[in-house]
Amino acid sequence: MINLETPRKFRPLVGQAHQVAMNLLRPNSRKYDQFEHEYPKELDMLAAMIDGLSESGAASGAGASGVRREEGTPDEAAAGTKNGSNLASVLSITEMCWGDVGLLLSMPRQGLGNSAIASVANEEQHKRFDGVWASMAITEPGCGSDSANIQTTAVLDGDHYVLNGEKIFVTAGDRCDAVVVWATLDKSLGRAAIKSFVVPKGTPGMNVERLEHKLGIKASDTATIRFEDCRVPKENLLGSPEVDVKQGFAGAMATFDNTRPLVAAMAVGCARASLELTRELLEKAGVAIDYDRPAQVQSAAAATYLQMEADWEGAYLLTLQAAWMADNRRPNSLEASMAKAKAGRVGSDITLRCVELAGSIGYSEHELLEKWARDSKILDIFEGTQQIQQLIVARRLLGKTSAELK
């Protein structure tokens, strides 16, 4: 029988993450929302602590670090289940984003590029890039959710690949140590030729053009980066350099199977923060929420709150399922997209409706409700928009290819 409780071995990690969120992230949330692009120095000590715990093996999955799917088949896991680093990361990220999403995304060495490295790098690369703070550069001016239409090129020239193109909306693009850049080896071969490259900061030909001013997650810098004849050692191509037309985009998409549950966890954590504060405000206003009575016989505010909690629970469970499947070496592309689609939409809906329920208090800066509403919107957009996730889910359920169902 499935057990939906937090695994016993992860409870200390969850408790520690919650304490960090409550005592460090939440108190600094408004400060770095107002001082956009200012680096949160308070995170340096936290990052060092997480690094130390991870090296000692005491806190696998702490922070937003990448998660690595072990080799094997589902049959090998048939004798029992495993709760590993994917689930640990999801649980800790949920707690940290209860504190602040933007600050979590600003943590050194915990970028989404680290998840890309963990997903597709070989063992030698995994060791070589250990400890590197990596951002991920996918989106381009003419290519958003359609990652298969990437125009940035990578041409092999001796012992180097030469990169040319422009990337936008690169999270932590200015602060990171390296950027994981998605580029095509041959446009004529379509999505099968898209590979990812680790480009260290300071590499000639890579220039940060500007930092974006955003609606939310202002603590996190978001950069536009241009590559002009940028030479990258061929050993920095993640995974195999071979172009497998039969495999298609599957190698690159494996990155998303790991990162989408992480983004879903961010939305779940932010939405939970809004729900908890809204319930406190409603109770202070005399609104009683009774779980023993049908919603239709309670006040409109109570009924709305109960519906939001039910939606949140669905997003939370889908997120746990996607992470658990990855830990147990089961294909989770469908579940990862379902979790991202549900959590992204629910996160935006819940945070906005909480602002409405709280009235003027929700709309003002007196509480963090309005900030959470702004922060949550990006979680429905990056790592694949709501519409893209629904398209992926439809293809998986109907057994259609990307060419058959667009």
Residues with catalytic annotation? 383
Determine the residue type at 93.
Answer: I
Q: How far is the C-alpha of 335 from the C-alpha of 54, rounded, in Å?
A: 27
The set of long-range contacts for 329-334, using a CB threshold of 8 Å and a minimum separation of 24, is 329/69, 329/70, 329/71, 329/72, 329/73, 329/74, 329/76, 329/77, 330/74, 330/77, 332/257, 332/261, 333/253, 333/256, 333/257, 333/392, 333/396, 334/392, 334/393, 334/396, 334/397
Q: How far is the C-alpha of 331 from the C-alpha of 326, rounded, in Å?
A: 7
Q: How far is the C-alpha of 206 from the C-alpha of 356, rounded, in Å?
A: 44
| Tokens of residue 59, six digits | 């806190």
| Number of other CB atoms surrounding residue 351 within 10 Å | 29
Q: Where are the alpha helices (DSSP H) in 35-75?
A: 42-56
8 A C-beta contact, residue 358 and residue 283 = no
8 A C-beta contact, residue 119 and residue 69 = yes
Q: How far is the C-alpha of 306 from the C-alpha of 120, rounded, in Å?
A: 41
